[in-house]
């Protein structure tokens, strides 16, 4: 017969992963619904065509690079190599911050083109663009906060006890990266 703590230990790993996958599934449904609504609304007319800011291309390269750095963290966490895990996570944090900066400057470029969310020059195209990219940025902020938590936890531990927290973060981060690439390509080609 197993004790309560042994039973909880056996089920905590699958539970954490299952909750993460449920959250990812709900985010997929959210963005699938928004991009579907984008297509439907676009077909109704009164749609401003615009070019994506060049910084969105730069941010795409940055976020793909961050996926590579977070994967290095996972590999090193499995090898119990704490110093390399921390370096890879710090690099991921820096790349995440660079992505955020590129997004804000990209929004400034859109504003200069009079592509706005609301107001005198507002058009549904601009509103959808800001909603899609803003919601993605919100999810990325969530990832950055979790990254900071993981980084603090790994700094305080004398050695990597379990790669689980790094693996969970990596799964979420890879999802946010793939989501951005999808949104970028969607916005680039569905004008």
Residue, of 1 and 182, whose pLDDT is higher? 182
Per this entry, what is the length of the chain?
191
Closest to 86 (Cα-Cα) out of 158, 177, 173, 176: 158
Largest CA distance in the chain: 69
pLDDT tens readout for residues 151-191? 998 888 877 778 999 999 999 999 999 999 999 999 999 97
What does the block give as tokens for 145?
Answer: 């906060």
Residue 130: which domain range? 4-189
Q: What is the number of domains present in the chain?
A: 1
List pLDDT tens digits, range 43-102.
998 888 889 999 999 999 999 999 999 999 999 999 999 999 999 999 999 999 999 999
Looking up residue 151, the CATH number of its domain turns out to be 1.20.120.80
Exposed, middle or buried: residue 166 (CB in 10 Å: 0-12, 13-18, 19+)? buried
Contact at 8 Å (CB) between 73 and 92? Answer: yes
What tokens were used for 126?
Answer: 């601009």
Output the pTM of the full model. 0.88
pLDDT tens digits, 106-142: 999 999 988 888 877 788 999 999 999 999 999 999 9
With bands split at pLDDT 50, 70 and 90, how would you rate the model's confidence at 12? low
Residues 6+ apart with CB under 8 A from 16: 164, 168
């Amino acid at each position: 017969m197993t004790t309560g703590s042994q039973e909880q230990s056996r089920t905590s790993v699958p539970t954490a992963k299952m909750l993460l996958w449920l959250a990812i599934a709900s985010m997929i449904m959210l963005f699938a619904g928004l991009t579907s609504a984008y297509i439907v609304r676009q077909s109704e007319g009164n749609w401003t065509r615009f070019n994506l800011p060049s910084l969105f291309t730069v941010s795409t390269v940055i976020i793909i690079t961050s996926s590579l750095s977070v994967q290095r963290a996972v590999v090193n966490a499995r090898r119990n190599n704490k110093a390399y895990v921390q370096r890879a996570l710090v690099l991921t944090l820096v790349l995440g911050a660079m992505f955020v900066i590129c997004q804000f400057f990209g929004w400034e470029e859109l504003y200069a083109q009079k592509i706005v969310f609301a107001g005198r020059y507002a058009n549904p195209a601009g509103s959808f663009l800001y909603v899609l990219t803003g919601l993605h940025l919100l999810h990325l902020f969530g990832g950055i906060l979790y990254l900071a938590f993981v980084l603090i936890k790994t700094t305080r531990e004398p050695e990597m006890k379990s790669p689980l927290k790094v693996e969970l973060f990596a799964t979420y981060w890879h999802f946010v990266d793939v989501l951005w690439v999808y949104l970028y390509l969607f916005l680039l080609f569905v004008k």
